[in-house]
Amino acid sequence: MTEIGSAPLTGDTMVGGDDVIEDARASLWRRWLRNPSALIGGIIVVLVVASAVISLVWTPYNPLAVDPSHALSGPSLRHLLGTDEYGRDVFSRLMASSQVALFVGFLSVLIATVVGIPAGLLAAERRGATGQVVLRLADILYGFPALLAAVVLAAAFGASKTTVVLAIGISYIPVFVRVTRSNALVVLNSEYVLAARAYGRRPLAIMRRHVIPNILTTIIAQMSLLFSLAVLAETALDFLGLGTAAPAASWGTMLQSSQNYLGNDPLLTVWPSVAIVLCVLGFSLLGDGISELRDVRSSR
């Protein structure tokens, strides 16, 4: 039922063009700043990325430099967070580890999106046999959570960073297929897509003009969330010795070697733990924040 008296659509609401977009951008920033999840998550992510980037060119000490005379020294001015059992600087190793986390997170999410999103779009567009095949293939991968996939790959090819990235990436493909497909279906079933079809627009054009812009925020939120899960998985795999090999620094390997010093030097366990939790928290908060921002937008 139409409400009486609602403003008739006139040309007035359409003019404005760039100003309106400019305005929308400004208000997106403002809403970003007012959304605690997006704000805190964003700050943490920026910090982690900054530490990884800085560690490429500078760390307080060489993260691999062994110094037996200063092994297991607690936090001090020389070594901010102390040293490990080989006298390596813990802070430097934490910084270097953030590279590994971001590398693994980025590449695995990339694999999952590059395969999963087109597959999801295909399954949404071709609901017949093609779509079914895509979904069944996704089902197969669904049986292999990141950890299991990594173990199988490690058994076959030997454990390395590559198997970790592949395993995590592959195991997240079905997630992207499902998210993309279900969100794309909503758009494809909408009236404006029906109208576009009626005008004779090709499926690819509809994907580009209508579907992708509409599901983009959801996908980005999902990417941020899966990034956090990838870091969790990477930590676990490194801990199990199925990923980054010693002596290279990663939060997981640091945890693994700290296991022998739980009693004498619990801080060796605490530092990488804090780093992991912060990093994961940052990306998951960012993902939540992005979805909240989207919800606000769609409810307006």
Interface residues toward another protein, by CB under 8 A: 1, 3-8, 136-137, 139-140, 142-148, 151-157, 159, 228, 232, 235-236, 239-242, 252, 255, 258-259, 262-263, 266, 269-270, 273, 276-278, 280-281, 284-285
d(CA 188, CA 148) in angstroms, rounded, equals: 35
CA atoms within 13 A on the CB side of 75: 8
Q: How far is the CB of 43 from another protein (least distance, A)?
A: 15
Q: How far is the CB of 32 from another protein (least distance, A)?
A: 18
Tell the residue number behind the tokens 């005008």, with chain if given: 199
d(CA 72, CA 225) in angstroms, rounded, equals: 36
Q: How far is the CB of 122 from another protein (least distance, A)?
A: 18
Residue (153 or 184) nearer to another protein, CB: 153
Residue (20 or 262) nearer to another protein, CB: 262
Residue (72 or 212) nearer to another protein, CB: 72
Residue (219 or 254) nearer to another protein, CB: 254
Q: How far is the CB of 123 from another protein (least distance, A)?
A: 14
Q: How far is the CB of 45 from another protein (least distance, A)?
A: 13
Residue (206 or 279) nearer to another protein, CB: 279
Residue 202 structure tokens: 């090709």
